[in-house]
Chain A
Amino acid sequence: MTRVLSWLLSALAIGAFGFLLCVFLFQSGPVWQSEGTRYITGVSWFYRQDVFGALSLIYGSLAVTAVALLLAGPLGLGAAVFLSEYLPQKARLALKIPLELLAGIPSVVFGLLGIALLRDWVYRTFAKFDPLSGDTLLTAGILLAVMILPTMVSLCDDALRSVSGAQRQAARALGLTRAETIWNIVLPQASRGIASAFLLSVGRALGETVAVFLVIGRQDNNLPHPWYSPAPLLEAGQTLTTKLGGAETNIAFGDPLHWAAIMGLGVLLLVLTAGATCLGTLGRRRHA
């Protein structure tokens, strides 16, 4: 019975996702017809001239997510190790509750904090690289890092706690130090959970709109030259979500090609988030 139900519900979930993807694909049809693969590889987006190349938007999304993960990943995992392995149980709970409260703060509040504190800080700190303003991809990435950090710590902590205490005791009994136990026993065993914590954070970072919108500057067609150049990080940019959340969505409605291009961004966003999750799940299987 449970088995049948779980199959049914899984099918329902997959069906819902498929249906959503189909709706988006159908609505974005015209742009695939007119632009083809240039829609993904094209470097310019000028809607008034009917030129739709989303590469700079994909780049923007990936760049801010990468910055956020690079900052929040090590910090989050480190904090989780401290919480779960070093703190006594009472202190751990006392810290965990505010942490989960932090994770629930609406993103627009983080956006406001970003405007109030982060923009000027980035502008002054990187003054010698001469950024035009404090609205940069880097600012958005740092803000996202702050936003995903509580989720990251909380999920990593859960993953570490799921490793049974008997394992730790056995390791200590064999003469391993506490640090060695964590490094050799706890972390490897918790790696699946930690990976899923990272992936959930990636999902949140990719999909986040409002907070990013407020500090990213919304400049179209900002791509690095050459491709590995970090220069665009200190310039204003645009992500898939900020484009969708911006003024163009309202303008596009009624113009079939422009609307298709906007819906196409929805497809790309869906595929990116789904892709990250699937990759993570595969990786977890291989590990186990």
Chain B
Amino acid sequence: MRIQATMKLFLPLFFSVLSLTSISAAPLKINGSTTVNLPVAEAAEILRTEQKMEIQVDTQGGSAGGISMLGDGLVQMGMSSKPVSEDDRSKYPKCDFRPIHIGEDAVALIVSKDVWENGVHTLNKTQLKDIYEGRVKNWKDVGGERAQRIAFFNKEPGRGTWEVFVHWLYGSPKAAPQVNFPEVGGNEETRSKVASTPGALSQLSASWADGKSVFALALVGEDGVPVPPESQNIATHKYPLSRPLFVLTNGEPSGGAKTMVDFLLGERGQALVQKHGYLPLKALHP
């Protein structure tokens, strides 16, 4: 009886130790952007169960943290929602940064049907700042035909969507002014609230703007040309509120990192990218 119990306890332990030493001596450590983290963390969960891999995914310091920790050799894989700059490369000369593009994140500014029908189809940066800082409260002042109050729903803190938005408007989340608006959370909530509120405006992942209940505005750049958040504009970065999503390795990916990269670029990994509201590579190069 006792021997049996001991066996029951130790046999799995013995085998797990055996498999650990045979498959991977050290766990695969990943760190970086919270935006990229969503599909990667889910991929890690799948690889943990299916391949018995040991993976640690962390989001210390966001994209910048991912780049610096990979540069310092603290992790084998970084996650970043911005390209690795020349500054980064010169800061870590020993590290051969290899960004692997896994998808694209675009943020659309969406309005409710009545706003769309009121003639507001575009906004420029100044107009958006005016709205965000509360100087403009009526659609008439930003291109609407008739007077209508602007019901702005702000994405709640911590959402990547919000960060892309203020990054574009103000340079960084810390530089964004202190504002108070009703908050919305996930993509579903944002869409349904905007759809059901007259005069509504909010930020939403572009893949969720259906053009039936909510409508994505075109953004007017400095050249005065309105750019709608359509796939080719996102892919070519003509649409300003988009950013590439990367995982980074030092040199050619190998071992556990290669398994992860292959998974992310494969069909199931790309489905995860899409599931979290980002554009998969297929949509970028149709």
Contacts and interface: CB of A to CB of B under 8 A. Distances in A.
B173 interface: yes
Contacts of A120: 196
Q: Nearest 8 A-B pairs (CB), nearest first?
A: A236-B182, A217-B182, A218-B183, A247-B156, A132-B151, A133-B197, A219-B182, A221-B180
Given A120-B196, A218-B156, A221-B180, A247 B174 contact: no
Given A247-B158, A247-B159, A251-B157, A133 B151 contact: yes
A3 interface: no
A85 interface: no
A119 B151 CA distance: 15
Interface residues of A, number: 24
B158 A220 contact: no
B51 interface: no
Interface stretch (A42-50, A59-67, A199-207): A42-50
A219 B181 contact: yes
A250 interface: yes
A247 B180 contact: no
Contacts of A47: 157
B193 interface: yes
A96 to B, nearest CB: 37
Interface string A235-274: 0100000000011101100000000000000000000000
B171 interface: no
Contacts, number: 55
Interface string A26-62: 0000000000000000001011110000000000000
B86 to A, nearest CB: 29
A83 B151 CA distance: 45
A48 B149 contact: no
B149 to A, nearest CB: 6
B235 interface: no
Given A48-B173, A132-B199, A220 B180 contact: yes
B245 interface: no
Contacts of A218: 156, 182-184
Contacts of A221: 180
Interface in B181-206: 181-185, 193, 196-197, 199-200
Contact of A247 (B151, B157, B199, B200): B157
A250 B157 CA distance: 10
A222 interface: yes
B178 interface: yes
Interface string A168-208: 00000000000000000000000000000000000000000
